[in-house]
């Protein structure tokens, strides 16, 4: 113990001397990042330029990473990005649009999430209230709606003519695609009501679990932000899987699955087949791998490869950034995946095409 204490003391002394020579003195903690020319940073999945602009306008003026994540997600929710984020998209079997969102503070590891929230448009802002105003990490369904109303949010119908038309067309097509299995009547041919098939008759498979999951079906905005003080936050928002079974909650509500952040290390956020991805906690995996010394690119690739080893046909992607603002991304089986980001020194918000693995 004496040796460790002495070594630590020497290290602190050296750090202070260097800081004084450079004219700056920073308070250090175990994982505090150094100053970097690539922060502040706002990074998202998909080509959501306006959403990143909203987050950048917040963070470039010295506001927090948490504020930037919320602003980025809120922008996409109000714009109904590709009808896969926010109100008026991805109806469930009953025709209702429900929302999932999460936001995480990399400094405190505090988390706020909402799953299957009904009749509230601002899912990520309600998640922020869960983070700021409760000791909980996740609220769901009607109870989350009640909480939101208590916090001052307006309860309103999330159905639009667009989502209503989707649901009507789905019903006329014998409720296809359908995510039920081992039930009768046959969900490949019928809209139910369904009852379980018991015993050895449980051999029915409607489809591979990845069928019907593409960018326009399940297109989460995953968000990473680092502010000028080096604080890191992450988040995600989505209206979930189109035609999902009512009550289904995906990875975008779950810390470690949809998003994860740790100060001094980095953050990650995901998009894709949430039912598969939440089984592997890929955002958490990527951050832990960066903590061991992997680059954001190496960590992102490793996190997705772990999933595709078990589910080679799944579609999904991840973005990651380390504490210095270096970014990485990796995707599987999409042909149109993009990332969007902004950091100091760039003339404008960047939207980049990403080549995904195909096997």
Residue 229 CA to residue 68 CA, distance in Å, equals: 13
Contact 307, 282 (CB under 8 A): yes
Rounded to 5°, the CA angle 256-260-263 comes to 140
| Burial (Cβ within 10 Å: 0-12, 13-18, ≥19) of residue 359 | exposed
**Residue whose structure tokens are 């598969």:** 276
Phi and psi, residue 252, nearest 5°: -70, -10
Q: Is 220 a catalytic residue?
A: yes
Of these residues, 33, 72, 84, 220, which one is catalytic?
220
Neighbour tally for 311: CB within 10 Å: 19
Give the span between the Cα atoms of 104 and 269, in whole angstroms. 11
What phi, psi does 216 have (nearest 5°)? -85, -5
Residue with tokens 């869960």: 130
Beta carbons within 10 angstroms of residue 165's beta carbon: 11
The residues, ordered by sequence, that sit 6+ positions from 70 with a Cβ below 8 Å of its Cβ are: 103, 124, 125, 128, 235
Using DSSP bridges, classify how beta strands 350-353 and 98-105 pair: parallel, antiparallel or unpaired: unpaired
**Active-site amino acid positions:** 220
């Amino acid at each position: 113990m004496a040796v460790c204490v002495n070594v630590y003391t020497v290290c602190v002394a050296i750090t202070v001397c260097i800081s004084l020579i450079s004219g700056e003195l920073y308070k250090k903690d175990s994982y505090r990042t150094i100053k970097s020319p690539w922060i502040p940073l706002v990074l998202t999945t998909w080509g959501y330029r306006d959403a990143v602009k909203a987050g950048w306008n917040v963070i470039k003026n010295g506001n927090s990473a948490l504020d930037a994540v919320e602003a980025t997600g809120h922008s996409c929710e109000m714009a109904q990005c590709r009808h896969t984020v926010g109100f008026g998209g991805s109806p469930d079997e009953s025709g209702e649009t429900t929302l999932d969102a999460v936001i995480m503070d990399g400094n405190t590891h505090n988390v706020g999430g909402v799953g299957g929230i009904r009749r509230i448009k601002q899912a990520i802002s309600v998640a922020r209230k869960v983070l700021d105003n409760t000791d909980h990490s996740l609220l769901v369904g009607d109870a989350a709606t009640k909480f939101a109303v208590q916090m001052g949010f307006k309860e309103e119908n999330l159905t639009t003519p667009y989502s209503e038309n989707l649901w009507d067309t789905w019903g006329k097509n014998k409720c296809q695609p359908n995510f039920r299995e081992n039930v009768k009547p046959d969900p490949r041919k019928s809209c139910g009501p369904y009852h379980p098939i018991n015993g050895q008759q449980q051999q029915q498979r409607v489809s591979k679990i990845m069928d019907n999951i593409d960018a326009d079906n399940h297109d989460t905005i995953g968000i990473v932000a680092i502010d000028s003080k080096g604080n890191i936050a992450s988040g995600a928002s989505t209206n979930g899987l189109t035609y999902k079974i009512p009550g289904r909650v995906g990875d975008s509500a779950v810390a470690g699955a949809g998003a994860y952040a740790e100060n001094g290390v980095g953050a990650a956020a995901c998009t894709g087949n949430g039912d598969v991805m939440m089984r592997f906690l890929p955002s958490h995996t990527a951050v832990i791998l960066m903590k061991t010394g992997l680059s954001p690119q190496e960590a992102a690739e490793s996190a997705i490869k772990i999933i595709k080893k078990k589910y080679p046909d799944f579609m999904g992607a991840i973005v990651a950034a380390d504490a210095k603002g270096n970014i990485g991304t990796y995707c599987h089986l999409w042909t149109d995946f993009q990332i969007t980001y902004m950091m100091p020194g760039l003339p404008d918000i960047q939207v980049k095409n990403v080549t995904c693995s195909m096997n």
